[in-house]
Amino acid sequence: MSQPEDKDPLDAVLREQHPYIEDDGFTTRVLAALPPRRRTWLRPILLLGATAIGSALAIQWLPWENLPSLDASTLLSLNSQVLLPWLLVLSVAASLTWAVIAAVQWED
Amino acid sequence: MSFTDADLIARVLSREDQHAFGELVRRYQSPVRSFLARLMRGDTHLADDLAQETFLKAWRKLHTYRGTARFSTWLFGIAFNEFRTVARQRKELALEDIDEGSSTEPVQSATDSRSDLRLDLTEALKQLSSNERAAIVLCCQNGLSHEEAAHVLDCPLGTVKTNVLRGKEKLKRRLPGYQHYESA
């Protein structure tokens, strides 16, 4: 990489006569002229809100009292009448968990 | 704790962190404004307007900064483009080409004080063409290599070297206080 010659005395003059310009509010003016920030908080808030509503509805509407009991023999029997309600509960819980994780880890 | 330019840029890109961008502006406002003031032949108001537009453009285009060059070099490139746009609108470049080299008279009288030399240098720089002035300010005052200056000015490396040499020769002829300063 070629560099400007250091031995030329004019370089020393130019370097020394290079004024520092005080900020004097310049940075503030630049920041004031920046476009408004995008609302990056809006999406996680919406996700968390939807998750809360989804959780409330799930607690209210899922047939918790009628869920068949689970044990090893019923799991192995692959009885759809036993497993389907549990799959429904698990899928709702997984969706709500995913929404919470997505909201917490959201980056624009 | 002092953040590196790369840290600040990452914060701006990931969170639109205006405080981080403000720190970048604070770091580079002086060289960018000074560069533009030299190019605008001392019109500090217009230079500051261009500097502000430079930083606003940097904010909008920061995602295109690849980190292969120094951040200051990238900023100087935007600043020079801003200057070129205004100069084209004002047809200053064309006029400069005609005027270039027309004045070889020394500026003011020979002085030996540093403040007078600063004024003489400012006047002498105004008499250079914009390309010579830009090359001198970037390479000799801001410490950019010729390659970096060629990148900023979007011209061949040889052109930058020629402009630096030619500009310095003109400055030496036009700076009567230069020899006094040299021996001081």
| Least CB–CB distance from A26: residue in B21, B29, B147 | B29
- Contact, B75 vs B32, CB < 8 A? yes
| Minimal CA separation from B53 to chain A, in Å | 8
> pLDDT digit string (tens) for B30-58?
999 999 999 998 889 999 999 999 999 99
- The verdict on a CB contact (< 8 Å) between B142 and A18 is yes
State which of B66, B90, B114 marks the end of a domain.
Answer: B90
| Total of domains in chain B | 2
CA nearest to B9, candidates B55, B91, B65: B65
Q: Quick check: A17 contacting B, CB < 8 Å?
A: yes
Which residue's entry shows tokens 């240098």? Answer: B121
CA distance A17 to B167: 16
pLDDT of residue A42: 77
- B114 to chain A: closest CA residue: A17
Domains of chain A: which residue ranges?
Answer: 9-104
Q: Which amino acid is at A9?
A: P
Largest CA distance in chain A: 93
CA distance B59 to B13: 9
3-state secondary structure of B23: helix
| Least CB–CB distance from A10: residue in B26, B56, B171 | B171
Provide DSSP, B71-126: HHHHHHHHHHHHHHHHHHHHTHHHHHHHHTTS--SPPS----SHHHHHHHHHHHHH
Residue stretches of chain A with pLDDT short of 50: 1-2, 4-5
| Least CB–CB distance from A26: residue in B48, B56, B181 | B48
- The verdict on a CB contact (< 8 Å) between B121 and A13 is yes
On whether residue B52 sits in a domain, the answer given is yes
B13 and B73 within one domain: yes
- For A10, residues 6+ apart whose C-beta sits below 8 A from its C-beta are B140, B168, B171, B172, B175, B178
User: Tokens standing for B171?
Assistant: 């400055």
Q: Which residues of chain B lie closer than 8 angstroms to A35, CB-CB? A: 59-60
Half-sphere exposure of residue A61: CA atoms within 13 angstroms, side-chain side: 8
| Minimal CA separation from B162 to chain A, in Å | 12
B125 and B55 within one domain: no
Tens of pLDDT, residue by residue, chain B (184 residues): 688 999 999 999 988 889 999 999 999 999 999 999 999 988 899 999 999 999 999 999 999 998 889 999 999 999 999 999 998 888 765 555 444 444 555 555 444 566 666 677 888 888 899 899 999 999 998 989 999 999 999 999 999 999 999 999 998 888 766 656 554 4
- The verdict on a CB contact (< 8 Å) between A30 and B25 is yes
Q: Which residues of chain A lie closer than 8 angstroms to B34, CB-CB? A: 18-21
Q: Quick check: A2 contacting B, CB < 8 Å?
A: yes
State which of B59, B90, B121 marks the end of a domain.
Answer: B90
Q: Give me the CATH number covering residue B124.
A: 1.10.10.10
| Residue A22 backbone class (left: φ over 0; alpha: ψ -120 to 50; beta: rest) | beta
The structure's pTM equals: 0.68
- A11 to chain B: closest CA residue: B140
Write out the H or E segment, with its range, that includes residue B178. Answer: helix B177-183
| Minimal CA separation from A103 to chain B, in Å | 15
On whether residue B118 sits in a domain, the answer given is yes
